[in-house]
Amino acid sequence: MKSGFTTMLRLLTALLFTLTIAGVSEAAPGDAAPSGRVAKPVLEAGKGDKCVEDTQFMRRNHMKLLMHQRDDTVHQGVRTKQHSLKGCIECHASSRNNSVIGSNENFCQGCHAYAGVTLDCFDCHTSKPGTAPPAASPHGQPLASASSTLDVKPVSKP
Amino acid sequence: MSEKPSGGTQLSRRNFLGMSAAALAGIAIAPGVTLYDLAHGKPPGQATSGRVRWGMLIDTNQCSSGCSDCVTACNTENRLSGGTLATDSQWIRKLELKNTRTGKAHSLPMMCQHCENPPCVDVCPTGASFKRADGIVLVDRHTCIGCRYCIMACPYGVRFFVHEPVTGQNPEVPRGKGCVESCTFCVQRVDRDLEPACAEACTAAGHKAILFGDLNNPDSEIAKRIATYASRQVREDLALNTGVRYQGI
Amino acid sequence: MKIAYREIAGSGPGFYALLGVLGLFVLFALASAHYMEEHGHIVTGMTNHIVWGTPHVFAVFLIVAASGALNVASIASVFGKAAYKPLAPLSGLLAIALLAGGLAVLLLDLGRPERLIVAMTEYNFKSIFAWNIFLYTGFFAIVAVYLWTMLERRMNVFTKPAGFVAFVWRLMLTTGTGSIFGFLVSRQAYDTALLAPMFIIMSFSYGLAIYILVVSAAFRWSGRELGDAVVLRLKSLLAVFIAAVLYFVAVYHLTNLYLAKRHGIENFILLDGGIYTTLFWVGQILLGGIVPLVILFHPRLGVSRFWIALSSLLVILGGIAQMYVTIIGSQAYPLVLFPGMQESSSFHDGAVHNYAPSLPEVMLGLGGIAVAGLIVAIGVKFLRFIPENLDNSAVAALESTAPVQG
């Protein structure tokens, strides 16, 4: 019957509304780990005394910095350290696994897993700082020892 | 306000000091292009320019069949696997040639030729394959969708598709599954005033088969050498004007 | 007598079985694409020598056939042949379906399919691929509008201009597809302006062959009558197109045989290329060209529905063989870096490159066909694409009432 259907619809809507309010009110700011919800990320502090920019700025804008810097680096060869991904990793790699990904305690993965934003970078970029020894070749041929590419020995070039 | 000196007469001391100070300030404030270009280096914060065109000269007479120092150096620098399966990336490889009519044999390294008119750049739908101002042809892996059209287009067979996940990358040489890649002239080294790993290794070992330098600078060793001795480009008939030239073929 | 269009009535078990089979193949294709994306293309037969493999053979075939499938509609709207008018809506639907199937395969095979947004927002307009993105999406829009003008009676006055735009657009699209290969200097088998018009004439042939099969099946399985007047017209047209394709192939190879620098690739394709030589002579020329021609011109076989359908199927198989030779054969033949020199290296320079289709690739390719099939099947079920009755008298009536063309 039409009126019965409408009543049911109204009840359902009210129920959904109530549940939504209840759910939203759960997430009060400052809660450490509300029961039944995802725990907020606990990140290891980076090396050094402070980041190249302040925390709130970085939270909002690190993606814009990275996207702009990467075009400058790839297309113009601008390799300044301040906003480079390599620079970030050098300070923020975890002391446990020397990486910015690998578990939800790692710097990049922690927040990205919490926010549900896919991390595309580390398909190509290494998540570890410095010159880790080269990975063994999957085809069984040993590589010569790695020379550090961070040692700048200018060669007089013609 | 300084007075303008009247037509051709001597400058006042104040004017002279003022103009010198302005000139010095100009040199200090300006990006330093002039100064650094004279020294052929590039500070990290400065963009590349078209004033330079990087090129390579390979003397095949010095290149021996059994030697693959350049290949080993490239694999080490760029953290390539060193494997030689058809699915592996070989940014540089040794090519053994034999003239079928005369019997003369040659050995030479083959890598991305860094063409001036690169077919790979022409065909890339997203512009990921591009030529930098200084002539180095690169792949912007942020834009590459992995369609492999550039590999179809390259006449030299020097572009590679990454067929499996990659780990242990050099922090300055990101590379990963699903994108196309090729020799970069070790752009991460070039930007720091070093030469590509293959050239450095060949010179260090005393073979002297690979010479890297600025083709646009008439005083560079490479420019002087190609002006003196005959050299050629591979598949010259395609008019791609490659940055890599070969002697002795 | 007016031709009435009606959607396929009833939901018999046969229809659901068809949807089920097609859906299953689509699922296999999606699973294969996921597998390829997860593990990388190492799980396929494609390598750094053969970068475009079986998926591309199917994808390019479907895309080429898509523009050809629109031919029947073009003959009706652009060239004014009244007898073809009732066939036009299905032609438009089939064109959209085939293109969707081909594009699905192409996009799922990308190394980074999640970057599709990048492909749709950043363009290098020197690349024919970039133009193709606009040509393909434009094709969908234009054919959709064209279909609307045909199916909505008040819009019928716009069918002719819409059909004209669609006709010109599909010629541009197929030129773009042929130019993908024609613009490449790198391979001995490409680097020729002939590939663009050859792809156009191939599209006529493959598209019409698929159309014949689809229209015959649609009428037969829904119990509607399709008169000989329609089928015999279509088969004669197909015979002409097959002959035209053979002509282009002949010119292409004869020219290459004249040029000493192309003797290597010609030797490879025509004589000692192994599987590629077999696919060329037996697949493309014999089964895809000569046998269907003989059948279609035969006085008895050429009027039999069974033999006409068989010829269409052979043309399709010949087309897939042709794409295999064109796409994969050209990559198998080694690049010539130093003409006159024997080359060898750790990258197998100078040697013919091996390739074997792998299961994920084949399933992905077949999935494209299944996508096209699903679109057609669902389309004719819910919308009025197919005439209720197209027997000989209906066709005759159409022609007698057709306005005299000036």
Residues of chain C with Cβ-Cβ distance to B90 below 8 Å are 346-347
Which single residue is written with the structure tokens 């002297």?
A: B208
| B49 and chain A in contact, CB less than 8 A | no
Distance from the B221 Cα atom to the nearest Cα atom in chain A, whole angstroms: 6
| C124 and chain B in contact, CB less than 8 A | yes
Give me the average pLDDT of each 10-residue run along chain C (406 residues). Answer: 75 89 97 96 96 98 97 92 92 97 97 91 94 96 96 92 96 97 95 96 98 94 89 95 98 96 96 96 97 96 95 98 97 95 95 96 98 96 88 86 57
Write down the pLDDT at residue B33.
45
Reply yes or no on whether the pLDDT at B42 is more than 80. Answer: no
Of C52, C335, C341, the CB nearest to B155: C335
Q: Is A123–B177 a contact, with Cβ atoms under 8 angstroms apart?
A: yes
Q: Is B75–A143 a contact, with Cβ atoms under 8 angstroms apart?
A: yes
Which single residue is written with the structure tokens 């001036």?
A: B116
Length of chain A: 158
Residue from C126, C180, C345, C348 whose CB has the most chain B CBs within 10 Å, to mutate: C345
Nearest chain B residue to C121, by CA: B126
The three-state secondary structure class of C341 is strand
| B237 and chain A in contact, CB less than 8 A | no
Reply yes or no on whether the pLDDT at A98 is more than 50. Answer: yes
Residues of chain B with Cβ-Cβ distance to C343 below 8 Å are 95-97
**Amino acid letter for position A116:** G
A141-150, B19-28, C261-270 — which is least confidently predicted?
A141-150
Residues of chain C with Cβ-Cβ distance to B94 below 8 Å are 345-346
State the DSSP string of C100-155: HHHHHHHHHTSS-GGGHHHHHH---TTSHHHHHHHHHHHHHHHHHHHHHHHHSGGG
Residues 6+ positions from C242 with CB-CB distance below 8 Å: C205, C288, C289, C292, C293, C296, C315
Reply yes or no on whether the pLDDT at B50 is more than 60. Answer: yes
CA distance linking residue C244 with residue C251, whole number of Å: 11
Which single residue is written with the structure tokens 């008939």?
A: B237
| B114 and chain A in contact, CB less than 8 A | no
Distance from the B222 Cα atom to the nearest Cα atom in chain C, whole angstroms: 23
| B166 and chain A in contact, CB less than 8 A | yes
Q: Is B151–C48 a contact, with Cβ atoms under 8 angstroms apart?
A: yes
Write down the pLDDT at residue C155.
93
| C404 and chain B in contact, CB less than 8 A | no
Write down the pLDDT at residue C325.
97
**Amino acid letter for position A136:** A
Q: Fill in the DSSP letter of residue C403.
A: P
Write down the pLDDT at residue B26.
53
Q: Is B148–C344 a contact, with Cβ atoms under 8 angstroms apart?
A: no
Reply yes or no on whether the pLDDT at B28 is more than 70. Answer: no
Q: Provide the mean pLDDT of chain A.
A: 74
Confidence band for B43, pLDDT divided at 50, 70 and 90: confident
Q: In this predicted model, what pLDDT tens digit does every residue of B56-91 receive, in sequence order?
A: 999 999 999 999 999 999 999 999 999 999 999 999
Two structure tokens written together for B49: 């320019």
CA distance linking residue C340 with residue C64, whole number of Å: 36
Residues of chain A with Cβ-Cβ distance to B195 below 8 Å are 155, 157
Residues of chain A with Cβ-Cβ distance to B88 below 8 Å are 139
Nearest chain B residue to C122, by CA: B126
Distance from the B223 Cα atom to the nearest Cα atom in chain C, whole angstroms: 24
Residues of chain A with Cβ-Cβ distance to B194 below 8 Å are 152-155
Of B142, B169, B194, the CB nearest to A155: B194
Of C184, C340, C348, the CB nearest to B152: C184
Neighbours of B186 (CB within 10 A): 26
Residues B108-135 have a mean pLDDT of 97
Reply yes or no on whether the pLDDT at A145 is more than 80. Answer: no
Write down the pLDDT at residue A2.
56
Two structure tokens written together for C371: 């996508």
Nearest chain A residue to B55, by CA: A158
Q: Is C354–B126 a contact, with Cβ atoms under 8 angstroms apart?
A: no
ipTM over 0.90: yes
Write down the pLDDT at residue A30.
47
Query: What are residue B108's phi and psi, to 5 degrees?
Result: -155, 155
Write down the pLDDT at residue A8.
83
Alpha helix stretches (DSSP H) within C11-53: 13-39
Residues of chain C with Cβ-Cβ distance to B97 below 8 Å are 338, 341-343
Q: In this predicted model, what pLDDT tens digit does every residue of A106-139 receive, in sequence order?
A: 889 988 998 899 988 999 999 998 764 333 333 3
Write down the pLDDT at residue C168.
97
Q: How far is CA A53 from CA A44, A62, A65, A119, B71, in A?
A: 17, 9, 11, 21, 41
Nearest chain A residue to B41, by CA: A157
Nearest chain B residue to C112, by CA: B145
Q: Is B172–A139 a contact, with Cβ atoms under 8 angstroms apart?
A: no
Residue from C108, C347, C355 whose CB has the most chain B CBs within 10 Å, to mutate: C347
Residues of chain A with Cβ-Cβ distance to B138 below 8 Å are 74
Write down the pLDDT at residue A53.
85
Residues of chain B with Cβ-Cβ distance to C124 below 8 Å are 121-122, 124-127
Cα C332 to the chain's mean position, in Å? 23
The three-state secondary structure class of B50 is coil
Query: What residues does each domain of chain B span?
Result: 2-24+50-247
Q: Which CATH class for the C13-238+358-398 domain?
A: mainly alpha
Q: Is B194–A138 a contact, with Cβ atoms under 8 angstroms apart?
A: no
Reply yes or no on whether the pLDDT at B31 is more than 50. Answer: no
Nearest chain B residue to A142, by CA: B82
Q: Fill in the DSSP letter of residue A39.
A: P
Q: In this predicted model, what pLDDT tens digit does every residue of A17-51 receive, in sequence order?
A: 877 776 665 544 444 445 557 778 888 777 877 78
Reply yes or no on whether the pLDDT at A148 is more than 50. Answer: no
Write down the pLDDT at residue C404.
52
Q: Is C187–B99 a contact, with Cβ atoms under 8 angstroms apart?
A: no
Write down the pLDDT at residue A156.
36
| B213 and chain A in contact, CB less than 8 A | yes
The pTM assigned to this predicted structure is: 0.86
Two structure tokens written together for B235: 């598949």
Reply yes or no on whether the pLDDT at B5 is more than 70. Answer: no
Residue from B76, B134, B137 whose CB has the most chain A CBs within 10 Å, to mutate: B76
| A79 and chain B in contact, CB less than 8 A | yes
Write down the pLDDT at residue A136.
34
**Distance from first CA to last CA of chain C, Å, rounded?**
23
Q: Is B153–C47 a contact, with Cβ atoms under 8 angstroms apart?
A: no
Helix, strand, coil content of chain A in percent (nearest 5)? 40, 0, 60
Q: Is B47–A80 a contact, with Cβ atoms under 8 angstroms apart?
A: no
Q: In this predicted model, what pLDDT tens digit does every residue of B219-246 receive, in sequence order?
A: 999 999 999 999 999 999 999 999 999 9
Q: How far is CA C154 from CA B56, C157, C158, C274, in A?
A: 68, 7, 9, 57
| A148 and chain B in contact, CB less than 8 A | no
| B10 and chain A in contact, CB less than 8 A | no
Number of cross-chain residue pairs from A and B with Cβ atoms under 8 Å apart: 126
Write down the pLDDT at residue C146.
96
Query: What residues does each domain of chain C span?
Result: 13-238+358-398
Nearest chain A residue to B76, by CA: A146
Write down the pLDDT at residue A36.
59
Residues of chain B with Cβ-Cβ distance to A153 below 8 Å are 194
Residue from C43, C51, C181 whose CB has the most chain B CBs within 10 Å, to mutate: C51
Chains sharing 3 or more CB pairs under 8 A with chain C: B
Q: In this predicted model, what pLDDT tens digit does every residue of B142-160 receive, in sequence order?
A: 999 999 999 999 999 999 9
B26-30, B129-133, B158-162, C137-141 — which is least confidently predicted?
B26-30
Residues 6+ positions from C394 with CB-CB distance below 8 Å: C1, C3, C86, C227, C387
Topology of domain B2-24+50-247, per CATH? Alpha-Beta Plaits (3.30.70)
Q: Which of residues 162-221 of C touch B (CB under 8 A)?
A: 180, 183-187
Q: Which of residues 359-388 of C touch B (CB under 8 A)?
A: none
Two structure tokens written together for C133: 């993105």
Of B101, B178, B235, the CB nearest to C337: B235
